[in-house]
Structure 1
Amino acid sequence: MANATLFSTCQCGKVRCQAVGRPILSGVCYCDDCQAGAAMLEALDGAAKVTEEDGGTHYLTYRDDRFSCVKGVELLKAYQNAPDAPTRRMVASCCNSAMFLKFAKGHWTSAYAKRFAGDIPPVEMRTQTQFRQSNLPLPDDAPSYRTFGPKLFWRLITSRIAMIFG
């Protein structure tokens, strides 16, 4: 997977994104922002589901220099939970497929795992479980954290260093 290229595609195939190499993280987030964003996007006409059965959102998070839209970039439309929100959720306007999330101040892009085909990395952690609303048992496939957890921050820091030094 270190040099693998994965592709995510909208429902109708007009938008395609490319992710190169191993993601910073394959994680599920339950934060209130992700839940509100998912509800907003899933309410769009004809939109595909982005959340897991228990309400979490599975992302593959890549360094910005390893993730790009390679087809249909002009069809991407940004959605924000609020006008001053630091995150933009990018949706393929052709078919209302949520493609990825961009945190304005970060060096990473979090792509919706449900948009990828083929073998994707398994979930490595579940974050912000303090906001989880599901009555389903919390999956035990990966460590779970009430907040974001130190492992996430460590991965983000080391990925930034790797970007700086090539």
Structure 2
Amino acid sequence: MTVASCTCGTVRIDVTGNPIMTVECGCTSCQTAGQAFGDTLTEYGTTPYTMVRKDRVTLLAGGETLVAKRLTPDSATRRVVAGCCGVPMFLDFRHGHWLSFYTDRLPEADRRSLDLRTMTGDLPNRNALPNDAPNPKKHTAGFMIKLLGAWVAMGFRNPKIDWVKEG
């Protein structure tokens, strides 16, 4: 069991099983949200996420403080912030079967090494990226296959995360 938590410890979310993958996203949306909803960006402009299946997360405490933030009212993604201490907790894609936890919300001992960076073509200077993981410009077939594999393992279900209030 891994418990994702906010800085002050009010929000606690149980995460079981292995993550789907650990990525850093460089898309324009993650760059914009990283500046707007809490400093989540690395020194080269990517956002570190640990992607987990929605059927493997359980709210333990602090749900009343969670607030969804969107870049636009019709955005398919919501960044969920702990209102108690203001830190971003996870990204929830409306039609997705996974949550992307901001990696620093997980205990350091439970963080996996980076699998890849994705959407680096949106970065202002992708040449500044380290070579410690693949740095494709867009989502790769392997990235999509990992997500599809997780969805197959879930029986093509898309559990709803209904313990977050819209902000």
TM-score (norm 2): 0.88
Partner of 2:14: 18
Unaligned runs of 5+ in 1: 43-48
Pick the aligned partner of 1:39 from 30, 35, 38.
35
Any idea what SS the aligned residue of 1:109 has?
A: strand
The one-letter code sitting in structure 2 at the alignment partner of 1:12 is C
Aligned ranges 1:68-79 → 2 under 5 Å: 68-79=58-69
Is residue 68–residue 80 contact of structure 2 (8 Å, CA) maintained in 1? yes
Map of 2:139 onto structure 1: 148
Match of 1:45 in 2: none
Instruction: Determine what percentage of the aligned residue pairs are the same residue.
Output: 35
- Cα distance, 1:130 vs. partner? 0.6
CA distance, structure 1, for counterparts of residue 94 and residue 156 of structure 2: 22
Q: How far apart, CA to CA, are the structure 1 residues paired with 2:122 and 2:62?
A: 34
- Residue matched to 1:54: 44
How many residue pairs are counted as aligned between the two chains?
156
Aligned CA-pair RMSD: 1.7
**Which of the numbers 120, 144, 162 marks the counterpart of 2:153?**
162
Is residue 78 of structure 2 the alignment partner of residue 88 of structure 1?
Answer: yes
1:132 and 2:123 are equivalent in the alignment:
yes
Q: Is the 8 A contact 1:54 1:136 kept in 2?
A: no
Residue aligning to 2:104: 114
CA contact (8 A) 2:50 2:100 kept: yes
Matched with 2:162 is: none
| SS of residue matched to 1:140 | coil
Secondary structure of 1:158's counterpart equals: helix
Read off the aligned partner of 1:56 and give its amino acid letter: T
Aligned residue for 2:10, secondary structure, equals coil
How far off its partner does 1:54 sit? 1.1
Structure 2 gaps, min length 5? 158-167
